[in-house]
Structure 1
Amino acid sequence: MPLDVLTQPLDPYSAQVVQAFDRVGPAVVHVMAFGKDGRPASQGSGVIFTPDGYVLTNSHVVANAAGLRASLTDGQDCQAVLVGDDPATDIAVLRLSGTGLPHAELGASAGLRVGQLVVAIGNPLGFTCTVTAGIVSALGRTLRTRSGGLIDSVIQTDAPLNPGNSGGPLVSGAGAVIGINTAMIAPAQGICFAIGIDTAIWVATRLMHDGRVRRSRLGISAQTVQITTRLRRFHRLEQLTGAMISDLAADGAGRQAELEVGDVVVSFDGAVVTGIDDLHRALISERAGTSVSLGVLRRTELLTVPVVPRET
């Protein structure tokens, strides 16, 4: 007589997926965002990460919402309040009104390895608490957000995601949250992305403390341009491109430092700048109020321009 399927031991792969779901699934929530007219505006997923009801989700899930609610897998329905969101990393933190809520363990994304098992839990297309599994396909990806910024150290995975998975947890086989699912490439097969939990924790800590994430800015608009071979050789520049200033804010730090439209930024405090993306990465919050040196090509000259970035 064949063994009852319920008594058969799980293979190691299945056991890890089940373990991940058992540990994190109860802490996954279905997030509903409502417009000013009281109608649903968007939906997504989230994960409770503290015993007192703080939730990690995506900024784009809750952006511009007039009201928020979250429902748990056990049927509980809670009012949610936006603690803060950061479009630059697509992370938001909510606070639920309930008590005695389950919460997931947060892991670390720094030690992930390509090929290791990951499990995505969420509410795709409104189907509550759906589980998909895959592997880490690549690490260290850079993803552009809807606000135009860049998120570094993004996890690429082939664990299938669909609309509604946004904001849900990416979980290791050991049952720790190692990412927040954020995007998929719609026409592609199995190319999905999650924000590393190390980034998410850094952002969440600041949102919970200040309600926002401090960054710095130069008050310039720029675009990536080629540097002529003649100028590169004359000034012994290794990079092929730089960030050309196309506009300056009237009251910005760049104008105060007497930068000019047409200047090409090639370095930031000694670090090579090959384009606008390098400037985005360099302008961290700690730069605000501190003088930095920009290497700037102005026509045929290479200048060093001190500038003090301002807080956003």
Structure 2
Amino acid sequence: MFPAIPAPVSPAPAPASPSVRRTAAVALAAALIGGLLASGITLVATDDAAPDSAEQAVVPEPEPLPAPAPAARTTRGEGLTQVEAVAAAVLPAVVQIELRSGDAQETQASGNGSGVIYRSDGHILTNNHVVEQADGLRVKFADGEIARAEIVGTDPLTDLAVVKVDSGDLPAIQIGDIDALRVGALAVAIGSPFGLEGSVTAGVVSALNRPISVGDGIRLPDVIQTDAPINPGNSGGALVGSDGRLIGINSAILTAGSPANAGVGFAIPANIVVRVADELISSGEVVYPLLGVSQTAAAASGEEPAGDGVVVGDVQAGGPADEGGLQPGDVITRLDDTPIGSFDDLILAIRQRDVGDTVRVTYRRQGEEQAVDVILVER
């Protein structure tokens, strides 16, 4: 239903410095994990296939999940494993989002995804790619209740969206501490893969701060990688830690030409989710700051290795960088005190600022280090 872009299957590079890992990851292409069609068929489109030539694949009967390794007992409930306790606590806060197509008088189900109750007043988190093409939305809660939903706002740059139902006193998810998250920590994914609402899978946090591309020129520069099985329909669902708190919103999977789970899934970190969701709820849109530079073609294609800085490919006329005197060929090495080793580093550093902030850009020109203060403007 939603575009899937196959990932290259070249061997993973040996872990070197963080900047090298980030640059190698620029070549990764992740598939947005869209909803299952009502007929039980999911559409898969590669980046070199026209929409009308999309391949149809019949979804097989789901295979039983392997029994998880014994987990530590928890005080949440006597005799419960950690995953069982997490599932029991979180399931009520995860919903299925049904997409409707057609006019207001006659709509029919066209697919589904997942969502997470963000606020008890009816605000629900999901992915932009889940709702962006829907004519109408319905939400199915864990207790089976169904309610109509309206889109509050969407943010394609982070693939996040907020929808709202006319309900109150809902069981909202609790937000986790991303700064305390570590590689190897328990990760539990809850959502509606293949339309099977309330499905729970478990794995670990495989990596942090992973940059990925998801098509249409969209870069997610700072996502969580997990091996918790994630499949079509999990989009917008919860990724939670061992304490049952939200660590991310499931958004994409790495694929080698198939929409099936390959053990490499990606979630948008909870700190980004909260910032974006709060802005969408308050104003219906997210405002991003702009520096006004682009990367070189070689860097964009992954051919230019990461290193100490980012080579400026182009400077937007009249933008902050242009006003500050930056030129194509300059090498940006720092933004304030943040080292810049890749364009993803630069994107992330800028997105962590606000419109109107003054930032110091340190750069090299013909081997000489220079610095300039610029004021970020609205993107």
The two structures share one fold, judged by TM-score above 0.5: yes
User: Is 1:257 paired with 2:324?
Assistant: yes
- Compare CA radii of gyration and give the structure with the larger one: 1
Q: Select which of 129, 144, 149 maps to 2:198.
A: 129
Q: Is this contact kept in 1: 2:221–2:347, CA < 8 A?
A: no
Q: Which position in structure 1 is the counterpart of 2:22? A: none
1:106-255 to structure 2, matched below 5 A, reads 106-146=175-215, 147-152=217-222, 154-187=223-256, 189-223=262-296, 240-255=307-322
Structure 1 position 131, deviation (Å): 1.5
Matched to 1:76, the amino acid is E
Distance 1:205 1:307 in 2: 27
| Change in 2 beyond 3 A, CA 1:50/1:271 | closer
Matched to 1:223, the amino acid is T
Q: Is this contact kept in 2: 1:225–1:241, CA < 8 A?
A: no
Q: Which position in structure 2 is the counterpart of 1:289? A: 356
Structure 1 position 280, deviation (Å): 0.8
Distance 1:78 1:159 in 2: 29
Structure 1 position 39, deviation (Å): 5.5
User: Is 1:20 paired with 2:104?
Assistant: no
Distance 2:186 2:320 in 1: 46
Structure 1 position 262, deviation (Å): 3.5
Structure 1 position 137, deviation (Å): 2.7
Secondary structure of 2:179's aligned partner = coil
| Change in 2 beyond 3 A, CA 1:309/1:41 | farther
Distance 2:130 2:238 in 1: 14
Distance 1:273 1:120 in 2: 32
Q: Which position in structure 1 is the counterpart of 2:341? A: 274
Number of equivalenced pairs: 290
User: Is 1:78 paired with 2:147?
Assistant: yes
Structure 1 position 299, deviation (Å): 4.7
| Change in 2 beyond 3 A, CA 1:217/1:26 | same
1:223-243 Cα deviation digits (max 9, x unpaired) = 2879xxxxxxxxxxxx84533
Q: Which runs of 5+ in 2 are unaligned?
A: 1-69, 74-79, 300-305
Secondary structure of 2:152's aligned partner = strand
Q: Which has the higher contact order (CA 8 A, sep 6+)?
A: 2
Secondary structure of 1:283's aligned partner = helix
1:60-99 to structure 2, matched below 5 A, reads 60-99=129-168
Structure 1 position 100, deviation (Å): 4.1
* Backbone CA RMSD of aligned residues: 3.0
Q: Which position in structure 2 is the counterpart of 1:235? A: none
Q: Which runs of 5+ in 1 are unaligned?
A: 1-9, 227-238
Aligned identity (percent) is 40
Distance 1:242 1:114 in 2: 26
| Change in 2 beyond 3 A, CA 1:130/1:259 | same
Distance 1:298 1:115 in 2: 41
Q: Is this contact kept in 1: 2:187–2:241, CA < 8 A?
A: yes
Distance 2:297 2:253 in 1: 26
TM-score calculated relative to the size of structure 1: 0.79
Secondary structure of 2:282's aligned partner = helix
| Change in 2 beyond 3 A, CA 1:269/1:98 | closer
| Change in 2 beyond 3 A, CA 1:40/1:301 | farther
TM-score calculated relative to the size of structure 2: 0.66
Secondary structure of 2:362's aligned partner = strand
Secondary structure of 1:167's aligned partner = coil
